[in-house]
Structure 1
Amino acid sequence: MYAKDTSRKIKSALRARKMQGKYMATTAPFGYQKDEKDHNHLVIDEVTAPIVELIFSIAEEGVGLHTICNRLRKAKVIKPSFYKKEMFERYTDEEKMYDWDTAYVSKILHDPVYAGNLTVAERPTKTMRSKKRQYIPYAEREVIYGTHEPIIEQSRWNTVQKILESRPPVIGESSSGYDNIFRGVIKCADCGSAMLAKVEQKRKRNNVLDKTFYCCTKYRKFGKEGCSSHTIEARTVHEVVLADIQKHAGQALADRKAMVTEIAERLNLQLSADKEQQKKELRQCKQRVSEIENLYAKLYEDLTRELITEKRFQMLSARFDSEQEELTAKIKELEKSAIADKEQLSSIEHFAEQISGYAGITELNFKIINQLIEKILVSEPVEVDGQKIQRLTIHYKFIGALETLE
């Protein structure tokens, strides 16, 4: 019983320190080192952090773990264990020095520590008598945010998680010859299913892009009972998306402030004069709440001095309570709206800064698509004035859809 109580106290103390954002492990994770002034705080290791950056950069291309390991091996990147002093003294075998393990690469890519966060418990023991550890899925782990300087930005780390989870990386090239850079991003606008890339080898065309088209996965499985085909040429998708990115990138490069204002207006954000009106209204509401508090105190004083009746007091206090509740609810709504607008405006500015770096691109790749785009919705073609029109809606990260393209 004493041992069990001691174990509980130790676990409780360790958890409390972890909840404070303190790093409690013996050694720092690869890419970091312990702060000389505070051993419970992590600082970036300038020697190994670029390797972590390289791993995430390759992962953003949508390649598999084996491909990442092969690229690290070909680039002669020394694996983590050989950065320990004792390993240098024991081994000189080059094959082992560059032999990266897929499990370790996966661990680096999934670890929130590289986004500046710490997990409270990854694999805790079940009981004090057992050495077996309980596995907690990544999505269920408790995370403390902003505990140290990140090597990878949070938004970028989130993008890699999405690539790893919802769009499993592929190993090697597709047998069809078509590199589906839109996989997991392009979806049916009606049923929400992924759009399947189909290469029609019977088409007498030189470029594989001209042989490829997208259609609704649900339609392919269940026919018209599931959904309609939503068929669209792969080249059309490439050209439309490339043109839209080039357009917004050019705008951001030419006049970023004007672009941010234009997008904010499209998203109905409150700007300049509207913000001032909102602030004025918020001040008036808070001032009135303060006045009601003073009136209520005066009202109670009048009651104690018998200047008003009990019935009159109850009637006036009920009126003040009702007005105060309405004002409090309105203050919360105004403050919430102001915070939401501020966050959205910050997201637009971040989007403008990010997309401006792609002003000169002439072709797309998997990395660009996943850095900028959340999803692409393809509608079923409709006939308008004798012409078939198909709508494509690009939902950009941070800001959503700006317009529907035809």
Structure 2
Amino acid sequence: MRAALYCRLSEEDRNKRTEKDDSESIQNQKSMLVRYAVEKQWDIYRIYSDDDYTGSDRNRPEFNKMLADAESGKFDVILCKTQSRFTRELELVEKYIHGLFPVWGVRFISIVDNADTENKGNKKSRQINGLVNEWYLEDMSDNIKSVLTDKRKKGMHIGAFALYGYKKDPNQKGHLIIDEEAAEIVREVFLLFSKGYGKTAIARSLNERGIPNPTEYKRLKGLRYRQPKDENSTLWKYYTIADMLNNEIYIGNMVQGKYGSVSYKSKKNRPRPRAQWYVVEGTHEPIIERELWDKVQAIIGHHAKPFKGGTLGLFAKKAVCANCGYTMRSSKSHEKYYLKCPTRYVLKKACEGAFISVEKLEETVLLEINALIAQYMDEEYIKKNMDMDSPLLPRKKKLESRIQAYINRKEEYSRALKQLYLDKAKNWMTEEQYLEFTQGFEADKKKMERLIQVSRKELDEVIEKLSDTAHKEQAVDPCRSLEKLDRQMVEELIDFISIGKRDQITGILPIEIHWSF
């Protein structure tokens, strides 16, 4: 028997000697599981250990690695101290312990509470354990929320980290004191904006001077702040400046509860209406004087101009650059509205970023939504009336346009090759230069030929489907009645949209929609 040993330590029972060492509890779990495996004369395949993760966290790295190895058949049995160390969610107990593990040929044992999938008689006790753990999670969540709500109402700061410009008071829990080094930057941002500097210009100025942004500042100060892992994560951004200029904490008011969790099982947060925020005035020393604050707010209010037709905010905080991961900004040009990556404007040689018109993105999202509507209609109705995989006519037009673009590009390369030959014949270039240029153009020409071939094959498939489904369009049309998006639809249906940079050769703009259902 090959045994996988799984240990987990949650934040509430953490007892570390040093930050780099395993927790005492983890060591105790390992010792117990190793001893059990040795007594059973089982080979230990690997010890999987997650430190500082709750039993409801599905993103535990070692936990997910163990599940992948279990599916691959790399071991025969999983050992845990208790079933709750594996998971506190009844859903995962049923999915893995009672569902997939038997299919994968993996036995599950938790030593302390005597759970063993080889013993069919204790299945109900495992389910009861799962139910008790589920109740524990829900009760603990309610208790924590109650305590935190009470502290928020009293104006106590409960965040893991103080807002940039402040630090936690070591002598008074829940109280903030000014961090002068960061506060100087905050004052500079407000002063520059009050003098007419734009938010992007302020961000660019700070970046060019090498001033670390708030997240990088925390890291440099030794705080255990989880920094985004990309090369532009240390840069000041437009929205960092915008959030700073609107934050009342800088005038001495404690503002908390802007976001609320979806449920105790999810780490996702949703914005809450201002009426549900917890605002307590005068809880700490202000960094920004009231006169300067009022001047800045007046400028912000004057600059806030909604787009015509309610376009502004349709994809607010939903569209992100696929390259750097930052939220795309809206802009207007020639009476049209666009979304663009902000990173390229705050520092030279930063992410070149993504760019798309709001109209184009709305069209793409509508096509996907209507395709989903068609897909999830009544199964019998689909069989009788809707065999289409997606809206085909727009797809056909796109493919035809794409093929023509490839053909034009191929002809350009052919003309370039002929011109190169003439230049060589006239001794306007050396043999080496001729070979170098022709190899490049030949490679590009062959690439176009391959793209033409692939696109034509796809076009043939679309045309075939159109011929089979043309008589069903009338039945499908009522199902595609959605012609316009509004902000509420976007908020409820979409988690985020990842937008890449347009391919210079194919013209394809990568768009990936992540639904919230």
Compute the TM-score of the two structures, normalised by the length of structure 1.
0.36
Higher relative contact order (CA 8 A, sep 6+): 1
Compute the TM-score of the two structures, normalised by the length of structure 2.
0.29
